Amino acid sequence: MKNFIFLLLVSLLVNCNKKQNPSQEIISIQDSEEVENMLLESPPNPNSTFVSVYVLNINDTNVYETNFSNLKHLYELRYKQSFKTFNYFLYEIVNQKFKLKISDAKKDALFLKSFQLDNKIWNLYKKGGIGGIINNYCVFEKKRYFLSSKDLTLREQQTISYCFFINGYVKIVNDYSNTNSYLKCKSLMHYPTVGSIPKNK
């Protein structure tokens, strides 16, 4: 009986950790190399600016939303001496192995916008994983998850977007309907361009 209880407790702890942590890296080394090549394309690949990327800062608890193109500029300006290549910098920063060192957020307003995680949403995620977010706030249509509630604050929406991102989803922004949706991708690089995404009617 004691052995059964012990095994049950171990199982619960393992499941809890799985819920709180993404099961795989957000971006691979190979993908980061592809991003670097993508940024050299002409005309520019829309994914270089269209895909939202979330990174962390060592000096505060904010989450910073940006894109691949802006991270390239940030690397050239401030991190080229610390990282020999942009693709390794990208791999480290997106996978949260390295945090930005920003002392003045306004100074980097050209590159990043920041927000604090909403406690209610984040606690729900820590408890139930991305499934908890989906069950409480989303509906599944056209191969994507849409937010089912229109009463969410901006901070709540941003936190939900961050939770999806660290679980391998890309945020799709519809400027016409002012809505966000989330599409599961094998990787950030194997993400359909804007014109090929199914529209929600």
| Whether residue 131 has pLDDT greater than 60 | yes
| Domain contains 136 | yes
Give the pLDDT confidence of 17-50 residue by residue, as tens digits: 344 444 468 888 888 888 888 888 888 787 788 8
Helix (H) or strand (E) holding 10: helix 2-20
Which residues span the domain enclosing 80?
Answer: 29-115
Rounded Cα gap, residues 51 and 134, in angstroms: 21
| Whether residue 157 has pLDDT greater than 70 | yes
- pLDDT score of 186: 63
Do 110 and 46 reside in the same domain of the chain? yes
| Whether residue 191 has pLDDT greater than 80 | no
Q: How far is CA 195 from CA 47, 172, 174, 182, 199, in A?
A: 11, 12, 12, 16, 9
Token pair 């679980």 in the structure block, residue = 167
Last residue of a domain, one of 61, 81, 115: 115
Do 172 and 97 reside in the same domain of the chain? no
Do 57 and 130 reside in the same domain of the chain? no
Domain count, the chain: 2
- pLDDT score of 110: 61
Cβ atoms < 10 Å from Cβ of 53? 23
